[in-house]
Each structure stands twice: as C-alpha cells, then as structure tokens.
Amino acid sequence: MSGERILVIEDEARIAQFVERGLIYEGYRVNVARDGQTGLVIARDNPPDLVILDWMLPGLDGLEVCKRLRAASDVPILMLTAKDDVKDRVTGLDAGADDYLVKPFSVDELMARVRALFRRSAPTSRPEILRFGDLTLDTGTHRAFRGDRAIDLTAKEYELLELFMRNPRQVLTRDVIFDRVWGYDFGGESNIIEVYVRYLRQKTEGESETRLVHTVRGVGYVLREE
C-alpha cells in the first residue's frame, strides 16, 4: 500500500511536520500546504490519493476546502479537528469528509485511519502478481505459489506475506509488522508475530525449499535470499 501520495493541509508547523514525518516513514509521498488556497492548487495540479485536512485554517477554512475538494474529486479526506462535538462532525461529514481525527492524536492513530481510508477506497486497485525468487503471490486470489506448488494461506498469513513481498530485502521491525498486519487496536499476546512467521515458513519452505523469511535477531524479519 505504500507509495501513495498524500496532501497534508495544516497551518501549524509542528503538527504538519509531525504528520509529514510519520507518513514518510510509512512510505507515503507527502506534499504539505500551509493554507487552504495553496492546498487546493496542489490538489488540482497534482491530484493526491488522500488528503489530510485541518479544520481551522487561516483564510479558507477546512470545511470550505473540503467542499471544494469534494466538488472536484472522490479523493478520501481525513479531517483534523480540535472540535470534538457531534454537531461539528456532522457538519464536516456533510461537507464530504470521510473521517475525523481529534487533536491531539498519536502517529499510530493517524496511520490506522489513513490505512482504513485507503482500504475503503481500495476497489479501484487492480490485482497484481508479486514475485520474489520462485515465490509468487496473487493479490487478486490471495493464493501463493512456490515454483509450481500452490500454497493456501489464511487471511492473516496472506497479509503478512503480502507485507514481506511488497518490502523485499527490507528489515521489517516487529512494531511495523504489528501495525500493518494486526492494526493499532490489537491487544493480544506478543508472540503472535513469531507464531505466524512459523506458519508462513511451514507453508513456504515445507518441501525442503530454501528459507525466504529470515529472523533479524532483536529487530524483526526480512524477506531475502539465503
């Protein structure tokens, strides 16, 4: 899911920077606008895949920006607001916002909302065949193959393998895996990643094939050649 472009419209430098850093860390490309007018120009000239929009902006306020963005496209819009009352939320939703985040928020919370919005707008994404060595993964059917051998995956195994295959040769920390595969609200046992990596290894190397998912002790895991 990474590589999508996100436009952040936020006048407070501190928050804009915090949001920008978090998004870049997750692999998104980011444009920042400090006011609504600039944001609308960027959105028009270089349409983003998602907009994070502050409510209280100098000049054009977030609500007006939201209406104008919505008039021009279906881009998912996440509004940031310090106003946490129901009436304001309804007003924002009427203006075309898809979701809300009330300040102050954590970076995990922000990423979870962003991912959720991308998931909701996902039907437009085309199935792909991801390849790594002799391992292939069909994102349409959710089936994997090691060479010609078909591998059936459970939903979580699929998500984990997809994460690895979209980030080959990159060490994925336990935190990142947790966050991407289980979501920010997961409160279960902490060895769940180990358990699923074990399942995945049994399925992808069960026929004495070479190891693909390697442990990086104390850090996480990486999909790489031997």
Specify the stretch interacting with Ca ion by CB under 5 A; choose among 3-11, 115-123, 134-142, 156-164.
3-11
- Work out the end-to-end distance of the chain between its first and last CA atoms, rounded to an integer number of angstroms: 26
Question: Is the CB of 13 or the CB of 216 nearer to Ca ion?
Answer: 13
Which residue's Cβ lies closest to Ca ion? 56
Specify the stretch interacting with Ca ion by CB under 5 A; choose among 4-12, 89-97, 192-200, 206-214.
4-12
Question: Is the CB of 26 or the CB of 54 nearer to Ca ion?
Answer: 54
* Contact call for residue 56 and Ca ion (CB under 5 A): yes
Specify the stretch interacting with Ca ion by CB under 5 A; choose among 8-16, 102-110, 174-182, 184-192.
8-16
CB of 96 to Ca ion, least distance (A): 19
- C-alpha separations of 119 from 112, 113, 152 in Å: 10, 10, 23
Tokens (6 digits) for 162: 């997809």
| Residues in binding contact with Ca ion, number by CB under 5 A | 3
Specify the stretch interacting with Ca ion by CB under 5 A; choose among 21-29, 54-62, 70-78, 133-141.
54-62
Single-letter amino acid code for the residue at 117: L
CB of 46 to Ca ion, least distance (A): 23
Distance CA 46, CA 33 (A): 13
120 within 8 A of 98, measured Cβ to Cβ: yes
CB of 18 to Ca ion, least distance (A): 13
Let me know if 115 is exposed, middle or buried by CB neighbors in 10 A (0-12, 13-18, 19+): middle
CB of 12 to Ca ion, least distance (A): 5
Q: Which residues pair with 223 in a beta bridge?
A: 213
Q: Which of 54, 98, 157, 162 forms a contact with Ca ion (CB under 5 A)?
A: 54
Q: What is the residue-wise DSSP string for 125-187?
A: SPP-EEEETTEEEETTTTEEEETTEEE---HHHHHHHHHHHHSTT-PEEHHHHIIIII-TT--
Question: Is the CB of 56 or the CB of 130 nearer to Ca ion?
Answer: 56
* Contact call for residue 11 and Ca ion (CB under 5 A): yes
Residues forming the site for Ca ion (CB under 5 A): 11, 54, 56
